[in-house]
Amino acid sequence: MPLRPIRIYGDPVLRLKAREIREFDDSLHALVADLFETMHAYQGVGLAANQVGVAQRVFVVDVPLEGGAHERFAVVNPVLSERKGKQIGEEGCLSMPGITEDVQRALSVRLRGFDEQGQAIDRVVEGFLARAVQHESDHLDGVLFSDRLSPLKKQFLRRELDALARGELPDGYHPGSGGGAAGEGAI
């Protein structure tokens, strides 16, 4: 399965509202496998399909838990509801390498959707996994975490975001070969 280059801030596909997936077929399975492979290569912990240029409603996460376990799964056509509480924590995005900011998210959220085989998912997630799920669901609606910052913080980031949009990537970032450490922990 091929690594797919990650689309960077400024790429119009990141602003599309992704389409619902109707078929749980081989092409979906290949896409999910590529999403996992690409996310791992870039040392990320979450990746949405439009971040590799495919405007379809599917994302993957692989979030480490205490004790060495992982929450690793794909979600097709995710629907979030029952947002509860709030958490403020640092977030990075594989499509915005080199940029991290504190972002407010719900502390827990009900996640419904399907796995890549078409089996229903209905569970409540919390903590960092809830953050990742909210971040990836935003991607599928064309929303980036920078959109969720205060006007002042956005203004501070403007120069860096404009540089990314011009194709200026951080030092040490190697598109197509894993992105170096720029993506570590990003979603």
Helices of type H across the chain: 26-41, 127-140, 151-165
Q: Are 22 and 57 in contact (CB under 8 A)?
A: no
Annotation says 136 is catalytic: yes
Q: How far is the CB of 139 from Ni ion (least distance, A)?
A: 6
| Residue nearer to Ni ion on the CB measure, 75 or 187 | 187
Nearer Cβ to Ni ion (95/108): 95
Q: How many Cα atoms occupy the beta-carbon half-sphere of 171 within 13 Å?
A: 0
Site string for Ni ion, 57-96 (x = CB under 5 A): ------------------------------------x---
The active-site residue, picked from 136, 160, 168, 184, is 136
* Contact pattern for Ni ion over residues 93 through 122, marking x by CB under 5 A: x-----------------------------
Alpha carbons within 13 angstroms on the beta-carbon side of residue 101 total 22
Shortest Cβ distance from residue 47 to Ni ion (Å)?
Answer: 7
CB of 30 to Ni ion, least distance (A): 21
Distance CA 92, CA 96 (A): 7
Q: Are 47 and 59 in contact (CB under 8 A)?
A: yes
Number of neighbouring beta carbons within 10 Å of residue 179: 24
Active site residues: 136
Footprint of Ni ion (CB under 5 A): 93, 187
